[in-house]
Amino acid sequence: MEDVKLSILSAAKIRFSRFGFQKTTINEICRDCRISKRTLYQQFPNKEELFMCLITHELEKLKAMVLTQTQNLALPVYQLSQLLQTIGVYFYENRSLLYATIKQDNTIHSLGQTNRFQTAVEKEISALIAKVILEGKQQCQFRNIDEHFVACIGFNLLQSLFITNKVLTFSDKTAVNEYTREFIDLFVNGIANEALFSKNQHPKTDSTL
């Protein structure tokens, strides 16, 4: 049954990314998976819950990616650089799906409901960033800042750069790498403890997709 659920999530991701929440139908997802609507509803009670489960599933995948990329880095200052790099790459590669969460939240918000999907994404990713910043503060690698506030800023900057950006264009991966590198240098060096890092020692990142 878990295989069926994963198959539905995979098909739903393609549909939601390509057509958005409103234009995607349960019938289309069922047809893509070659299952009945009854089978789908045994896993997900409605389209909104399917979408929410997909976002949760994607966030778990992102957290696993972050752990893999940062577990061998001893210093929080380098962990943060790699963390932002991993999130940036994920945002870029999944920008259509993540944009769909924002667009759908705007529709829900217009009906007087909360921004459920976007809140879930921001909460999880900001928590990842805040955790590393806190560790860096405890080791005096970062200045005495509010890690939750700074993490929220980092999330929104990444989102603005890769998802809702209407100014910069990413014609190829080289451009993405350059923008990612500049963002990480600006963000990490901005909170680094100057007493520990000289100008030539500030952390850099290998922003290669």
109: pLDDT strictly greater than 50: no
pLDDT for 159 equals: 81
149-189 residue pLDDT tens: 999 999 888 888 877 665 556 666 677 778 888 899 999 99
The pair of three-digit structure tokens given for residue 124, joined into one six-digit string: 């999880």
How does DSSP assign 84-142, residue by residue?
HHHHHHHHHHTHHHHHHHHHHHHHHHHTT---HHHHHHHHHHHHHHHHHHHHHHHTTSB
Average pLDDT score, the chain:
83
Band (143; pLDDT cuts 50, 70, 90): very high
Q: What is the pLDDT of residue 166?
A: 54
Q: Which two tokens stand for residue 117?
A: 């999907």
* Contact assessment for residue 129 and residue 84, using Cβ atoms and an 8 Å cutoff: yes
Give the class (CATH, top level) of 51-201.
mainly alpha
Q: In whole angstroms, give the CA distance from residue 98 to residue 84.
A: 17
Q: Give the per-residue pLDDT at 110.
A: 44
**CATH dotted code for 1-45:** 1.10.10.60
Mean pLDDT of 28-34: 96
Mean pLDDT within 116-136: 87
High-pLDDT (> 90) share of the chain, %:
44
Give the tokens for residue 82: 């790699």
Neighbouring residues of 125: CB distance < 8 A, sequence distance ≥ 6: 59, 62, 87, 155
Residue with tokens 């005096």: 140
pTM of this prediction? Answer: 0.80
Neighbours of 79 (CB within 10 A): 23
The domain ranges of the chain are: 1-45, 51-201
Residue 82 has pLDDT above 80, yes or no: yes
pLDDT at 179: 81
Identify which has the larger pLDDT, 63 or 102: 63
pLDDT tops 80 at residue 124: yes
